[in-house]
Structure 1
Amino acid sequence: MRYYQRRLDGGTRLLAVADGSAYDLTFAKPGVDSFGALAEAAHVMDRTLDEVAQPLLETAETLPLQQVESEAIVPLVAEEVWAAGVTYQISEEARTEESGMPEIYVDVYDADRPELFLKSTPDRTIGPGQAIGVRGDSEWNVPEPELGVVLYRGDIIGYTIGNDVSSRSIEGANPLYLPQAKIYDRCCSLGPCVTTDIDDPHNLDMSLTIYRDETVVFEGRTTTAEMVRSCEELVSYLTRHNAVPELTVLLTGTSIVPDDEFSLQPDDTAVIDIENIGTLRNPVTGV
């Protein structure tokens, strides 16, 4: 199933899409009013998300699928969003190119231990249709489309799309500036849903399209089969000696890197598609 959140009458409602139909799970069970509430119930009952949601479909109100997708907000409130770096060869090459100390990226690409860093918090994370931000003190800013692994108490329960918006000029000036290049207002978007319908997360088509004045200024495609690390490996390192919050998202890195001459501008639109998950579309604003 795919799980969406929407706002209605001042509250949040959880919706599920199954077999092409959309269901309001909160209508069937008012206590299940968020993805977090469903994840908690599944944990308490020692069942999967879908096993808990399936019986609710019988009494849930149905909605047009297009309405659910158009009204979707950020699909979960992740207390922490983490990200992995240099998990694709092209990412290693791009960060080597931007940095005055390229050897550190070569070293981490080949190392046993992956690069992991804190990416975002709830106040900095936005959902589909909301504006991602580019820093005013950075002249080189890019979107980074990534498969997001959704964790509940450290266990993988689903997948989403993430945009790890990055200030490449800041990180390139000095790797110690990475937190400033990665963590700031509107630095991360998630959505449009969390899906459990992924048989193999390491074999998904992914694309990024950037529009400027309704004209395509960048297009790129890849597959998660190009990842040099597995989702399970990245999660195992994230949770070593690190008690992550109940709901956490781990972004798994990117292999779609715009040309060095390209930088996001306010009023651009970034559109990320990942097979079996959906489309995450965000306009761009300055922060």
Structure 2
Amino acid sequence: MRYYRTVGADGPRLVARMDADAYDLTAARPSVTAFEDLAYVASVSNQTIDEVAVDLLGEAETVSIPDETSVGIPTLVDEVWAAGVTYEISEQAREAESGMPEIYLDVYGAERPEVFFKATWDRVVASGDSVGVRGDSDWNVPEPELGIVLYEGEIVGYTIGNDVSSRSIEGQNPLYLPQAKVYDRCCALGPCVATPESVEDPHDLMMTMTVERDGGTIYEGETSTSEMVRTCEELVSYLNRHNSVPESAVLLTGTSLVPEEGFSLTPADEVHIDIDNIGHLANDVTTV
């Protein structure tokens, strides 16, 4: 199933989509307003999240499938982390931007992946909201990524992420990575959380991104997560090592869609990211 968090006049609601039907789980259980509520019950009852949801469907109201361009952040994530240099093209792009290119090649082929902190809850935006670019950077790019949703350190689902990056800042010196990655509105997540049963193989999903400006398309590309050099399980294992990951977290898995050198996001651009079996993440761009 896919799980959406909608926010209206009556507060947040959790909607489950199964094929062409959608169900308001909050109508069945008012205490269920977030994906984490299902994850908690699943963890203590030794069920899958989808099994917990199915138990509620008989009492849930049938509703319209949520508009994926205007939903809330699908998971009440405490922290967002990210992995880098997991695709060959990403390694090549970061070599090109940096005065120290060899360090990226070393990471791409190393046993230990690059895992870094990306965002707290208040820095994340939902599908339909404005993602940010830094005002002190003149080279800003979107990075479409498969996001692994974790509950108590275990994989419970997948979402779409946009790991927006200030390449001019990181390119000056790799030690500036935190400033290039962590700032207001630096990350978009959505539109939903898809459970592992719905996604099937996370290492074989088609991903597309388009960027629109003034009514025209200025970038479009497609790739597959099969190009990722590391597995989701491997990346999660390194995130969890000697690290107290909070109850709810997302780990972004890296990008292989890199606009050509010279491309930079500008205010009012629209970024659209699609991943098979998950959905469509849409954000316009603003300067922060």
TM-score category, normalised to shorter length = over 0.9
Equivalent residue letter for 1:161? I
Q: Report the 3-state secondary structure (helix = DSSP H, G, I; strand = E; otherwise coil) of the residue aligned with 2:80.
A: strand
State the partner residue of 1:54.
54
- Conserved 8 A contact 1:144-1:166: yes
TM-score by length of 1: 0.98
Post-superposition shift, 1:10? 4.9
- Conserved 8 A contact 1:83-1:253: yes
Q: Report the 3-state secondary structure (helix = DSSP H, G, I; strand = E; otherwise coil) of the residue aligned with 2:207.
A: strand
**Is 1:266 aligned to 2:251, yes or no?**
no
Q: Report the 3-state secondary structure (helix = DSSP H, G, I; strand = E; otherwise coil) of the residue aligned with 2:210.
A: strand
State the partner residue of 2:213.
212
- Conserved 8 A contact 2:68-2:281: no
1:63-114 deviation per Cα after TM superposition (whole angstroms, max 9, x unaligned): 111x453541110111010000000000000000000000100000000000
Post-superposition shift, 1:43? 1.1
State the partner residue of 2:31.
31
Distance in 2 of aligned mates of 1:10 and 1:143: 34
Distance in 1 of aligned mates of 2:59 and 2:21: 13
Q: Report the 3-state secondary structure (helix = DSSP H, G, I; strand = E; otherwise coil) of the residue aligned with 1:54.
A: helix
- Conserved 8 A contact 1:143-1:166: yes
Q: Residues 161 and 194 (structure 1 numbering): CA distance in 2 closer, same or farther, change over 3 Å? A: same
Mean alpha-carbon deviation: is it higher for 115-124 or for 28-37? 28-37
Distance in 2 of aligned mates of 1:68 and 1:58: 23
Post-superposition shift, 1:168? 0.2
Equivalent residue letter for 2:31? G
State the partner residue of 2:64.
64
Post-superposition shift, 1:46? 1.7
**Is 1:42 aligned to 2:42, yes or no?**
yes
Distance in 2 of aligned mates of 1:180 and 1:71: 29
TM-score by length of 2: 0.98
Post-superposition shift, 1:213? 0.7
State the partner residue of 2:7.
7
Q: Matched residues, percent identical?
A: 63
Q: Report the 3-state secondary structure (helix = DSSP H, G, I; strand = E; otherwise coil) of the residue aligned with 2:217.
A: strand
- Conserved 8 A contact 2:81-2:251: yes
Distance in 1 of aligned mates of 2:69 and 2:88: 35
**What are the ranges of 5 or more consecutive residues in structure 1 without an aligned counterpart?**
none
Distance in 2 of aligned mates of 1:46 and 1:187: 36
**What are the ranges of 5 or more consecutive residues in structure 2 without an aligned counterpart?**
none
Distance in 2 of aligned mates of 1:71 and 1:109: 36
State the partner residue of 1:230.
231
Distance in 1 of aligned mates of 2:7 and 2:82: 27
Distance in 2 of aligned mates of 1:260 and 1:10: 46
State the partner residue of 2:137.
138
- Conserved 8 A contact 1:22-1:68: no
State the partner residue of 1:284.
285
State the partner residue of 1:22.
22
1:36-67 deviation per Cα after TM superposition (whole angstroms, max 9, x unaligned): 111111112121110100011111111111x4
